[in-house]
Amino acid sequence: MRNSRGRSFQHSSGMVMEKESKIYVAGHRGLVGAALVRALKREGYENLLLRTSKELDLTRQADVENLFQTEKPDFVFLAAAKVGGIHANNTYPAEFISINLQIQTNVVDAAYKNGVKKLLFLGSSCIYPKEAPQPITEESLLTGPLETTNEWYAIAKISGIKMCQAYRLQYGFDAISAMPTNMYGPHDNFHPENSHVLPALIRRFHEAKKNDAPQVVVWGTGSAYREFLHCDDLADSALFLMKSYSGLSHINVGSGKEITIRELAELVKEVVGFEGELQWDPSKPDGTIRKLMDSSKLAAMGWKPSIPFKLGLVDAYKWYVQNYDV
For residue 128, the enclosing domain spans: 23-187+228-257+293-308
317 in catalytic set: no
Bridge partners of 119, per DSSP, are 76, 175
Write the pLDDT tens digit of every residue in 20-77: 999 999 999 999 999 999 999 999 999 999 999 999 999 999 999 999 999 999 999 9
Interstrand relation of 225-230 and 258-260 (parallel, antiparallel or unpaired): antiparallel
Would 280 be classed as within a structural domain?
no
Would 165 be classed as within a structural domain?
yes
Question: Which CATH number does the domain housing residue 169 bear?
Answer: 3.40.50.720
Would 69 be classed as within a structural domain?
yes
Q: Which residue type, as a one-letter code, is found at position 193?
A: E
Q: What gap in Å lies between CA 116 and CA 77, rounded to an integer?
A: 11
Would 166 be classed as within a structural domain?
yes
Would 282 be classed as within a structural domain?
no
Q: What gap in Å lies between CA 134 and CA 81, rounded to an integer?
A: 27
Question: Which of these, 154, 149, 156, 90, lies nearest to 128 by C-alpha position?
Answer: 154
Q: What gap in Å lies between CA 224 and CA 289, rounded to an integer?
A: 4
Would 1 be classed as within a structural domain?
no
Would 144 be classed as within a structural domain?
yes
The phi-psi region of residue 217 (left if phi > 0; otherwise alpha if psi is between -120 and 50; otherwise beta) is beta
The active-site residue out of 24, 45, 153, 167 is 153
Number of Cβ within 10 Å of residue 250's Cβ equals 24
Q: Which residue type, as a one-letter code, is found at position 199?
A: P
Residue 221, judged by CB atoms within 10 A of its CB (0-12, 13-18, 19+), counts as: middle
In the chain, the number of structural domains is 1
Would 94 be classed as within a structural domain?
yes
Q: Which residue type, as a one-letter code, is found at position 253?
A: V
Residues of the chain with pLDDT under 50: 1-12
